[in-house]
């Protein structure tokens, strides 16, 4: 799993990418990306899975690492 951020006007978006294949996007609004971990890991065997967080709830942890 790769975690990263994307700076956009007036916000910083947090996202995670795992797996390979056709893209599946799991939008974590109003939840965080971690809520989708079990499903995303299962799908990653066949798909590229992108999980997001609407409010970058875990952004502080990424920036500290």
Where do the domains of the chain lie?
2-64
Q: Rounded distance, CA 64 to CA 42, Å? A: 28
| Residue pLDDT tens, the chain, 65 long | 998 888 888 777 888 999 999 999 988 666 777 788 999 999 999 999 999 876 655 555 555 55
Distance in Å from the first CA to the final CA of the chain: 15
| pTM for the model | 0.76
DSSP per residue, 10-29: TEEEEEEEE--SSEEEEEES
Tell me phi and psi for residue 51, to 5 degrees.
-115, 145
């Amino acid at each position: 799993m790769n975690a990263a951020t994307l700076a956009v006007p007036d916000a910083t978006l947090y996202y995670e990418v795992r797996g390979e294949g056709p893209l599946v996007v799991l939008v974590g609004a109003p939840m965080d990306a971690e809520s989708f971990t079990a499903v995303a890991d299962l799908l990653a065997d066949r798909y590229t899975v992108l999980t997001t967080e609407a409010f970058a709830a875990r952004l502080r942890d990424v920036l500290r690492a």
